[in-house]
Structure 1
Amino acid sequence: MSGGSQENGRDGGQGEVRKGTAARTVGLLVSGALALGVFALLLGLPWVAHGRLPEPVATHWSGTRPDGSMSLTAAAVFPAAVWVTSLGAAAVARWRGGLQAKSWSAAGLGFGGALLTGAQASIVSANLDRPSWQEARPLGAEVLLVLVAAVAAGALAWWLTRPQGPGPLATAPADGPRLDLPDGQRAVWLSRAVNPWLGLLAAVSGLGAAGAALAGFAGLGGAAWATAGPLAVVALAGLGCSSVQARVTERGLDVAFGPLGRPSRHWDPEQIVSARAETRTPGQVGGWGYRLSGRGTTVMLRGGECLVIRPRQGPEFAVSVDDAERGAALLNTLTSPRSPRSA
């Protein structure tokens, strides 16, 4: 018995290492793509519109009147240099400051990236098709929109990278004894899986959508808005399928999608006939992501072990997560006629 416990402990530790490594891989890929994307937008927006911009361009306004200018090259390079400097400062802060510094540096980068790209788009829009920088269009409501977007981006970056408390314990105190479980305890099972490539797809598509939207905002053509829509859909779909978390408690099974945990699905114990662990591959279920096939519904982020439930109504539902066997065992305990819910 003790040998089995030690083996389970080793397996659980290795599973946590795999999940932690995959999560860090997703974070690095997405962070790198976003950093490069902001850099490309800052340099690319003036270059794309250079044939329709004066030389130099207005870059500063006093009230509604432009009162400062830069060469087109400087207007592109200066904010890009500010962004690179910000990335370096954030890297140093994260290295020296720990988890709290990580979340606040991410918030600063989110705010700064949105502010710089929004300001660049506003400058291009104000100078577009003007004979000289002195005749650049006044900036008005777009300044407020850029500030709101920057604050929202910073808040979202902080929320996604904020320090997390310790995960649920394997067992936690309960109000009373539970049949088939140790007296005075209730069981909680939690597992997570990530797909770094879907996360990267979401980041690249999101950057493409943001770049097209900024180009449209700058007045570079209606085709930009038409491009932004489909890319945004791809980004949202990729984000929702880039990670999944399954949780089993006395309330049943919850499966949450994406880094925001939305959307999500829930089954009460009474809605589940049985659960099991089963090995599935993308080829068996028709590919990656949220798949519908002859096997029912499968959330396929990586081939291998899946938690499979058989609901009382509808097809089977499977999700590819580690340690599925223990999750299935707990679900079967909670859904059995002798479970605490009938005591």
Structure 2
Amino acid sequence: MITDTPAVVRRQFTLTALVLPAIVSLVSLIVQGILLPQLPETIATHWAWNGTPDGVGPAWTMLLTTLLIGLGIPAAIFAMGRSGLRRGDHGAGYRSLGAVALSVAVLIGGLGVATLGIQLGRTDAAATLPPLLLPGVLLPALAAGIVGWMLQPHVPWQPTASSSSADVPVRPGERVVWLQGVSLARGGIVVLSIALMIGVAVGVPVVLLADPAASWVSLGVVVLLVMILVTTVRFHIRVDPDGLTAVSAVGWPRIHVPIADVAAAEVVEVSPMGEFGGWGIRWSSQGKGLVLRTGEGVRVQRRDGRTLTVTVDDAATAAGLLNAYASLTPGPRRD
């Protein structure tokens, strides 16, 4: 019987997010390698909605896709969750990551084999897409995700009890400003960089070999990944009489909580994966978060019940100053 210990959580996550996806990808690569000699040099790699091919490429493209995406994404997911689990973190976020990793491996590996399988013995790249091919791959991938979820123990995240904020006395009319910077944790940078490298590795062959529409989509994905990385690396946090403001080092995105909306602020210990399922600007059952690392942060309770959590050093001073200003500022009128 599985007991919900940190060691078991780590072991089952490793099995689901790394070991099983690696086995699935390896089997898919072996099967594709066996089929490769029976295929034309150029095959259909993409189809229009009516099932006719609208993108072609070398037959080995599917093996490369399986390697880079089918194995690369689970490896990136495993890297994302490993450090947190080693610290003792847990929760549905990690469990979901493991399930997604296994599902992606089955999906990409299955698509690779199916794409080559329907073109066996052909001499051209004009194979029509069978109507049941996609459902026949998507359903096993969905089932694999469910299996991946069930393989991991159910260990819900319990939010850490808040600490006390500092006492920051502020007199009416006095202007006190608190400034701090926070950078994305090394684990987050590694994961986003791996995702970017995978996007570039996949996008280059598409741009060179596929139709213009697919090329633009691939370029768009790469640009989006670059923007996410650049805008998430560092934020500047400010608390002043206007409230709390968090701005990316490049000027966007910007998060602001007006002081009139602040009901209370407190210090909390934050687990990005356990509470929010990852790093960056996130939403979860715990509310909105700007979570760039594990550790202390300030959680702002708005008057309408919403919350904002920001991971930052010296959170006690930030929370204390927000509480001081909030006590001097009347809340919005409610009719």
Name the TM-score class by shorter chain: 0.3 to 0.5
Structure with more of its chain in helix, by fraction: 1
Using the size of structure 2 for normalisation, the TM-score is 0.41
Using the size of structure 1 for normalisation, the TM-score is 0.40
The structure with the largest alpha-carbon Rg is 1
